Structure 1
Amino acid sequence: MAVSIFPLSAIGAGDIAVIRSQDLDPYNQAFAGFSESCASNVKQYTLGGNGASQQRMAQEISEAKPRLVLAIGLMAAKLAKEYLKDIPTLYIMVSNPKKYGLIGNNIAGITLNIPVEAQFKTYKTLVPGLKSIGVIYDANNSGEIIREAGSVAKKLGVQLVAVSVTSQKEVPEALRSMLGKVDAVWMVPDETVVTTDSFKYFLVTTLEKGVPFFAASDIFVEAGALAALTPDYTDVGRQGCQLATGFTDGQVSLAETGARPPRKINLSLNLKTARKIGLAIPKSVIESAKLVYQ
């Protein structure tokens, strides 16, 4: 179902309660995008304190009877799902919403998950002749995305070498087992796999072997990974405004909306890493990147 842009005046004062999981820059960027696009006076909340204080916050929101809750981040979305069941909820800045039960007739949103096909197509432009990609994952966290990746890889003529782990301790051996068999390593945002220690191991090992390392965040690219694709957080907020306006205007159903991917994606590159592994990145790709670390 396509999203149409509806008149911003459709949202009136007090129609939306905004809950931020934390006062973090990415969440603030998303809210700024929402605010600049939606001419709406909203009531803002930021989670904090203990469970009792959060329940009191939920009670206050429930009594205010907003037409819609905008939940920014996972904690806010889970709070709305648990305590504000009767109020339609639109979430943004959430990864893997299905894993946390953020599905239903009264809840929908925009995920942080970038479509695998968009990722793999970008990686193929970065690494000419890319034929195989290795990935480490926990099936309980990332089974769905790996199944999608398998289908996409086959479609694009790329072999996916996926190694499943159940604990962070298994990650080093899993990485060693695939090096020499793959043209690049892809890190998915998996809670079991992605830790400070494991990232350091990924980085050092792939640099030593001269293997391109595609990470899950531009922070990792700044630290030495070759590249990452990330959502444009401000545009996620704008996209959320379009859905919110459509919903309050009666043109968009949350049940039909489901979980949508971000529409604007930013590429970050580390050219120092590219030089270290002997990879020449096309000028056109460099020019298209949002962030380039020299």
Structure 2
Amino acid sequence: MNTISRTVFCFVSFRLFSALAILIAGILSQGQASHCLAEGDPPSVSVLVSAQIKPYAEALEGLTAGLESKVKLDVVFMNKLGPQEKESLFRKIKTSGKTAIAIGTEAARNAVIELSASDVRVLYLMALNPGEFMDDNMRSCGISLNIPENKQVELIFGAMPSLQRLGLLFDPKVNGRFFLEASDAAGKAGRFIVPVSVEARTEIPRSLAEVWSTVDAIWLIPDRTVVSERIVEYIVKEAALRGKPVIGYNRFFYDRGAAAAFVFEYRSLGSQMADFALEVMQGKNCRATEPVFRFMLNGKVIKKLGMEYRIPEGTAVEVGD
């Protein structure tokens, strides 16, 4: 091999070696970035659960399945703790961890209040109206039980196109803003939300009697003043006697004869939070996120009422028997 050939060979070899080194470094850096939570001691995450009830337990199962191989979970049921035990718990979280996941409204409220001044980020799950207790520095975020009003309105009227006037049963002190947002969304679609406002459950029969002749359906939303199992059964029965459908917000309503309901699968919510928490812990923006849900139409009830339904394309609408 002459001098020129050796020079060319060395140059090409050097370029190939350099390119190979860069490629290997890139692969290693990607691997390091994608597995940063798996290296060394796993980060510790406190999981605060409001109470030992089935929905929270199912959400915890989904959360644990998605996180247990990546982080160390310390699960605490808040309803079992007294004031001093809660104080000790939050003091420990402030000094030992950077992330806390709160399942349920009460756990989320307590965590945000107690940890808002610390470096701990609170991620809430299955919290109702978290804006009522959120801190201002936006370190807290998560997945609530609030489906945007405009999305609910769109699904209800889209799936049951014969409905024009929807009676919303609510306490203005609890859901006044919800009514305004839903009314605005319905108005844009040429439909109406009729307020059926009450301040106590004893007012419900009278308030409903005043609107039965002016509404096509009754819509029940999460409202601590209005909703109980007995009230739901009463309203579904009274509506059926008048040939009116009821729209509710969980499987209980559907099983009790509501024509439609927004249904959550709680284990799926836990899985959603697992993915969300990992993203936040890896540096992605902490933001309020819509919960996964299904809008279930009760085909048997709708048919009995003599109504028609349709499934809008690209929506989470399902039809059951």
TM-score range, shorter chain: 0.7 to 0.9
- The alignment status of 1:269 with 2:297, answered yes or no, reads yes
> Over alpha carbons, which structure has the higher Rg?
2
Q: Structure 1: 5+ residue runs without aligned partners?
A: 1-5
Aligned alpha-carbon RMSD (Å): 2.5
Q: Which one of 113, 122, 132 corresponds to residue 82 of structure 1?
A: 113
- Map of 1:186-265 to 2, 5 A cutoff? 186-252=219-285, 254=286, 257=287, 259-262=288-291, 264-265=292-293
Distance 2:301 2:166 in 1: 18
Q: Is the 8 A contact 1:114 1:231 kept in 2?
A: no
How many residues are treated as equivalent by the alignment? 280
Q: Which one of 137, 155, 165 corresponds to residue 122 of structure 1?
A: 155
Please tell me the residue identity of whatever aligns with 1:61.
Answer: I
Instruction: Give the C-alpha shift of residue 282 in structure 1.
Output: 4.2
Task: State the match for 1:67 in structure 2.
Answer: 98
Distance 1:130 1:70 in 2: 40
Q: Is the 8 A contact 1:97 1:103 kept in 2?
A: no
TM-score (norm: length of structure 2) = 0.78
Q: Is the 8 A contact 2:296 2:319 kept in 1?
A: yes
Q: Is the 8 A contact 2:233 2:256 kept in 1?
A: no
- The alignment status of 1:134 with 2:161, answered yes or no, reads no
Q: Is the 8 A contact 1:71 1:92 kept in 2?
A: yes
Q: Is the 8 A contact 2:159 2:311 kept in 1?
A: no
Deviation by residue 1:15-38 (Cα, 9 ceiling, x = unmatched): 311111122222233233333333
**Residue 260 of structure 1: SS of its match in structure 2?**
coil
Please tell me the residue identity of whatever aligns with 1:274.
Answer: I
Deviation by residue 1:219-259 (Cα, 9 ceiling, x = unmatched): 1110111110123323322332333223222232x4xx2x3
Stretch deviating more after TM superposition (147-156 or 242-251): 242-251
Please tell me the residue identity of whatever aligns with 2:103.
Answer: I
Task: State the match for 1:55 in structure 2.
Answer: 87
**Residue 213 of structure 2: SS of its match in structure 1?**
coil
Q: Is the 8 A contact 1:58 1:79 kept in 2?
A: no
Cα separation, partners in 2 of 1:284 and 1:249, compared to 1, 3 Å: closer
Distance 1:277 1:9 in 2: 56
Distance 1:7 1:205 in 2: 56
Distance 1:142 1:237 in 2: 26
Cα separation, partners in 2 of 1:58 and 1:149, compared to 1, 3 Å: same
- The alignment status of 1:20 with 2:49, answered yes or no, reads yes
Greater length-normalized contact order (CA 8 Å, ≥ 6 residues apart): 1
Instruction: Give the C-alpha shift of residue 9 in structure 1.
Output: 4.6
Q: Is the 8 A contact 1:14 1:43 kept in 2?
A: no
Deviation by residue 1:91-149 (Cα, 9 ceiling, x = unmatched): 011111123x1243221111101122222222224323221111121111111211110
Q: Structure 2: 5+ residue runs without aligned partners?
A: 1-32
Distance 2:34 2:234 in 1: 50
Q: Is the 8 A contact 2:55 2:266 kept in 1?
A: yes
Q: Is the 8 A contact 1:135 1:186 kept in 2?
A: yes
Cα separation, partners in 2 of 1:166 and 1:157, compared to 1, 3 Å: same
Cα separation, partners in 2 of 1:282 and 1:249, compared to 1, 3 Å: closer
Give me the identity figure in percent. Answer: 26
Instruction: Give the C-alpha shift of residue 52 in structure 1.
Output: 3.0
TM-score (norm: length of structure 1) = 0.85
Please tell me the residue identity of whatever aligns with 1:172.
Answer: P
4+ residue stretches of structure 1 with deviation over 6 A? none
